[in-house]
Amino acid sequence: MTIIEDTPVERLREDGAAQLPPPVLAAPAPAAAPAPAAAPAPVDPAPGRGTPYPSPDRPVRSTASRVADLVALRERVLEGPSPKATEAQHAKGKLTARERIGLLFDEDTFTEVEGLRRHRATGFGLEDKRPYSDGVITGWGLVEGREVFVYAHDFRIFGGALGEAHANKIHKIMDMAAAAGAPIVGLCDGAGARIQEGVTALAGYGGIFQRNVRNSGVIPQISVIMGPCAGGAAYSPALTDFVFMVRDTSQMFITGPDVVQAVTGEAVTQNELGGADVHTGVSGVAQFVHDDEAECLEEVRYLLSLLPANNRSLPPALPVEDPVDRRNDSLVDLVPAERGQAYDMRAVIEEIADDGEYFEVHQRWAGNVICALSRMGGQVVGIVANQPCDMAGVLDISSSEKAARFVQFCDAFNIPLITLVDVPGFLPGVDQEHGGVIRHGAKLLYAYCNATVPRISVVLRKAYGGAYIVMDSQSIGADMTLAWPTNEIAVMGAEGAANVIFRREIAAAEDPDATRSRLIDEYQDRLMHPYYAAEHGLVDDVIHPAHTRERLIGALRMLRSKYTALPSRKHGNQPQ
């Protein structure tokens, strides 16, 4: 039997399409004397796919030679299609897919899946360009010691465009994440569907969307937009739980600027149409924006540290040195008693959270409500709070949508909810009514009513009308409702109530202004004093503001084992 000598692997072409060279055979040995007749050699069951048994006319290479080829091949795959392609990626201010994965995961913990996968499409020159990985890197690793799955588009190969093999790799890693019960992160940097592959590329997107929906509420799904995300590709991030973007280098849109100009005549750049600032501040499609990729991926790691692995587990708890019974004396002066005076609710959150830390979601969109993840007593909590220094904290279309989606996420992943209430009502106006504020406000109402996690609300100051009910009042199922002595819970403000109730009496008075003032005071004294709701059992307790942190953590401990059985149904029909 002839042994093949070790041979180097031919360097891959820039497009990554080169094949391994045929083995170089040593000169055949001199013919031996004829041997006695023997049984015929086994027939190769799959010609061209390897011989199962040694054969004198098919020499076998040594294992060491084959291993050397594998090592060389893997080195070429890790390098990517070419140094030129890598330089072009860096010149755009973007990292390569493997560099991004290196920043996302703990050092030396990433395991790649199907790194040697290649497409099998033909036509339009594709048969001559078959790079390994097919433009997407998939696998799993550890983030803060916890398992996370990932797929990362490699823009250097086919512009990150999705084809059949590319899509199958993503389908597989999404299925693996669901089976393992671990979060999945998509690092998106692709030019949409691979046009040369036609409808099979579109079918690949369909498979991704189906898995996004199937995994929704089962495992956390995070999309990180690090380049273009156009056409059908933009729908997958919209179906995930959180979307991160990088300023100036990432864009999302269904139709690009050229199509927009051709159809509508509007001239617009990619960033003006679907840049990071647009989607985090105007459309609300993305929750987070960062100036560079390293900072963005560090924040993704931090978010993952706050989330459970799946819907069957609890968020990770941490030991905390911040005393549970730490007093919040600064809150007494922080929140003014005058209901029309603004203040920053973030300062309240900082005062009651462990070490003053919280992670705000959608900070730049719908600022009149705050949604944040934080820890209290080492346990992860979701905080929903009105923001009096932005539109006086009223609820409107955007803030209702923002809070409703956050409440749904927390409920899906066993994160208790704390609601800080200081709301004057829903924003009035023709635009709001015609835009469907009733329908959108009902989304928040539905989300709270449907939530089964521990729910605690604190009324800091005013809580008027339907907005009071929607902000997790006791009447819609809050487990514990607390209030400060500055609370005003009522159908509306005293001035408006007096004008409605005593309209005729005020009009007939000799001194309407004095009469109005007297009747306002009377209404406040009878129906809006701080203990009225508590006297009627609609508030569990009126507490000293300095005890807020201690009381909240105590209630969270009490509710830790809460269980609520929902009615048997396929699913509800929530407002859209």
Contact 449, 477 (CB under 8 A): yes
DSSP string, 122-185: -STTGGG---TTTTEEEEEEEETTEEEEEEEE-TTTGGG-B-HHHHHHHHHHHHHHHHHT--EE
Instruction: Judge whether 367 counts as a catalytic residue.
Output: no
Contact 470, 448 (CB under 8 A): yes
CA distance linking residue 11 with residue 303, whole number of Å = 41
Q: Which of 85, 121, 353, 467 is catalytic?
A: 467
CA distance linking residue 95 with residue 83, whole number of Å = 13
> Which residues, listed in sequence order, are joined to residue 331 by a DSSP beta bridge?
none
Q: ∠ CA(512), CA(517), CA(519), 5° rounding? A: 95
Q: Which of 80, 139, 192, 232 is catalytic?
A: 232
SS3 readout for 158-174: HHHCECHHHHHHHHHHH
Please provide residue 368's backbone torsions phi and psi, each rounded to the nearest 5 degrees.
-75, -5
CA distance linking residue 540 with residue 473, whole number of Å = 11
Residue type, 195: I
- For 37, other C-beta atoms within 10 Å of its C-beta total 6
Structure tokens at 510: 């000799």
With a CB cutoff of 8 Å and minimum separation 6, the contacts of 422 are 335, 345, 385, 386, 388, 393, 459, 460, 461, 462, 463
Instruction: Judge whether 232 counts as a catalytic residue.
Output: yes
CA distance linking residue 181 with residue 218, whole number of Å = 8
Q: Return the residue matching tokens 């041979």.
A: 7
CA distance linking residue 80 with residue 100, whole number of Å = 14
CA distance linking residue 273 with residue 251, whole number of Å = 8
- Spell out where 164-316 has E strands: 184-190, 221-230, 242-246, 251-253, 288-290
- CA dihedral sign of residues 154, 301, 236, 247: negative
CA distance linking residue 482 with residue 556, whole number of Å = 13
CA distance linking residue 458 with residue 471, whole number of Å = 10
Q: Which of 186, 231, 274, 393 is catalytic?
A: 231
Q: Which residues are catalytic?
A: 231-232, 466-467
